[in-house]
Amino acid sequence: MSDAKASEAEVDPCCSGAPVAAIDEDDATQLASVFAALADPVRLRLYDLVCAAGEICSCDLQEPLGRSQPTISHHTKILADAGLITGEKRGRWVWWSAVPGRLAGATDALQAVRAR
């Protein structure tokens, strides 16, 4: 191989090696669960209602969302599993509130990963 061709092969950006992952698998899984929970329009609206109210009863979510109570329960469970909201059972109903800083924490974690 000539010196010119050898020189071109050395600087070929395609051969620069495998990239190093900026985020580890556990952090990616945790962040994905938060973003996946919010990726559904009903859950995004539900989360917005909970955040705006500070605390809200499940019964008060049916009318603004136009969904049945079993559907509300399904979506609140997904948001709760992602750590975005927390519920407290009071009698027959569950009262929901947003977990302070959870969404901001997720976005901050993603920004911190990109800053590495």
Per-residue tens of pLDDT for the chain, all 116 residues: 555 555 555 555 666 666 666 777 887 888 889 999 999 999 999 999 999 999 999 999 999 999 999 999 999 999 999 999 999 999 999 999 999 988 887 777 777 666 66
Cβ atoms within 10 A of the Cβ of 49, count?
A: 16
DSSP 46-100: HHHHHHHHSSEEGGGTHHHHT--HHHHHHHHHHHHHTTSEEEEEETTEEEEEEPT
Fold of the 25-115 domain: Arc Repressor Mutant, subunit A (1.10.10)
3-state DSSP assignment of residue 17:
coil
pLDDT at 20: 64
Long-range contacts of 57-66 (CB under 8 A, 24+ apart): 57/90, 57/93, 57/94, 57/95, 57/96, 58/87, 58/93, 58/94, 58/95, 58/96, 59/93, 61/96
Q: Distance between CA atoms of 8 and 6, rounded to whole angstroms? A: 5
pLDDT at 106: 76
